[in-house]
Amino acid sequence: MFEKRLLTPKETILKAITEEKEWIRAQPCPSPKPMIPVIRVEPNPNTAGLMSIYTDAAWNPSTGEARLGWIIDDRISKTQHSASLTSVSSPLMAETLAVITAINFALSHGLDAVSILSDSQILMNTIKKRENKLEIFGVLRDIYSLLPSFKSISFSFINRTANVWADNVAKQALWALNNV
């Protein structure tokens, strides 16, 4: 338009595709994901005797939909699980729902000694201190009421890079739903 050129629809689409490919080639290559061994040689000393459960959530603010992901790591293999929820109010609520869903899963599968790991530092600190937050009050109360059902349960914050698998499970489930 600025050059006073008129393009046919076919030329416009071809130009858009060409420029998109050029833009993609100009983007930096993503850093490779860290390799995580499938089988640990030694048990993790921080969770000796506990089954590790990594949790994460992906939340779509425009729809209020959340996908929860959790990984059960029994030191021999990992199993991945996911769940879908609607009408979720915030990312913190989605993370909290991922934790309680993993706790309920553990109880329903007879796991009575677990370590819950999440990359939500606010949530893990809130649960460890047995605090209440208005935004997630009801779900926190449910979590606290389930704690006596375990022989042993711990909650730990882990870095996002250590929680890649649970993050991928949640995000892939949300992506799949949005592309259906």
User: Over its length of 180 residues, how does the chain's per-residue pLDDT go in tens digits?
Assistant: 566 777 788 888 888 888 877 777 777 766 555 555 544 444 444 455 689 999 999 998 989 999 999 999 877 778 888 888 999 999 999 999 999 999 999 999 999 999 999 999 999 999 999 999 999 999 999 999 999 999 999 999 999 888 888 888 888 766 655 554
pLDDT of residue 172: 79
Q: What is the pLDDT of residue 139?
A: 96
Please give the pLDDT value at position 148.
Answer: 95
pLDDT of the residue at 35: 52
In this prediction, residue 174 carries a pLDDT of 65
Q: In this predicted structure, what is the pLDDT of residue 19?
A: 82
- Domains in the chain with CATH codes: 46-178 (3.30.420.10)
DSSP the chain: -TT-----HHHHHHHHHHHHHHHHHHSPPPPPPPP--SS-SS--GGGTTSEEEEEEEEEETTTTEEEEEEEEE-SS-EEEEEEEESS---HHHHHHHHHHHHHHHHHHTT--EEEEEES-HHHHHHHHTT---GGGHHHHHHHHHHGGGSSEEEEEE--GGGGHHHHHHHHHHHHHHHT-
